[in-house]
Structure 1
Amino acid sequence: MKAVLNGVVIAEADKDDLVRIEGNWYWPPVAVAKGALVESATPYTCPWKGEAQYFSVRAGEHEHTDRAWSYPTPHSSAVTRVGADFSGYVAFDRAVQIAD
């Protein structure tokens, strides 16, 4: 699968390597293109997953604010609920196209 923003592939992995949570695909960190993510100071804590890290996404010459997020250390109950350890996996907002 591929995550594409403005025609630029920002992540690519086999579907079996991704985790689906609440309608979002979460990509393993190694699947994300080097230099595509820039840490953001935007705070967010999910009641059941824990503290999120937001990222701006670089696609070509453009940087798109807060278009991705990750849970570096999700609650253990969230890992159990999801059925997979998604620590550090990256999800993208709806502006990013996901293709098989």
Structure 2
Amino acid sequence: MMQAIWNGTVIAESETTVIVEGNHYFPEASVKGDHLRHSDTTSFCGWKGDCGYYDVVVGEDVNSDAAWVYREPYPKAEKIAGHIAFWKGVKVRQA
């Protein structure tokens, strides 16, 4: 079981993450939505496509743009559709 943890709180937990470029992508259903807040930040990857971001929120603490998602990835990255990955201090570890 993989977990994503920030500020001592489990943000996501899943037996089935997808690993791409060293990042664990969690199925969206395994991520606790009350700890995510939509961000207006976007980016683009030449082989994955357009990327959207979320702020990770625990209590009063906000980790801006610490989660990302490819809603409609390019065919080469289709396995991460509907999955969310983390960075910026969010620890991903095996439980």
Q: Does the TM-score normalized on the shorter chain lie above 0.5?
A: yes
Task: Normalising by structure 1, report the TM-score.
Answer: 0.87
Partner Cα distance (1:34, 1:48) in 2: 27
Question: 2:45 corresponds to which residue?
Answer: 46
Among all aligned residue pairs of Structure 1 and Structure 2, give the percentage whose two residues are the same amino acid.
Answer: 39
Cα drift, residue 30 of structure 1 = 0.7
Q: Which has the higher strand share?
A: 2
Question: Equivalents in 1 of 2:35, 2:70: separation in Å?
Answer: 17
Indicate the residue corresponding to 1:99 in structure 2.
Answer: 93
Looking at structure 2, the residues matched to 11 and 72 of structure 1 have their Cα atoms a distance apart, in angstroms, of 18
TM-score, normalising length from structure 2? 0.91
Cα root mean square deviation, aligned = 1.1
More off after superposition, 21-30 vs 36-45: 36-45
Number of the residue aligned with 1:4:
5
Partners of 2:7 and 2:58 within 8 A in 1: yes
Aligned AA (1:57): V
Amino acid corresponding to residue 88 of structure 1 in structure 2: G
Number of matched residues?
93
Report the alpha carbon displacement of residue 94 of structure 1 after superposing the two structures with TM. Answer: 4.3
Where does the alignment leave 5 or more consecutive residues of structure 1 unmatched?
A: 80-84
- The superposition leaves residues 9-38 of structure 1 with CA deviations (integer Å, 9 ceiling, x where unpaired) of 100111xx1000001000000110131111
Paired with 1:11 and 1:78, the residues of 2 have a C-alpha distance of 21
- Counterparts of 2:93 and 2:42 in 1: how far apart (Å)? 29
Structure 2 unaligned segments of length 5 or more: list them.
none
Counterparts of 2:75 and 2:34 in 1: how far apart (Å)? 29
CA distance in 2, matches of 1:94, 1:42: 15
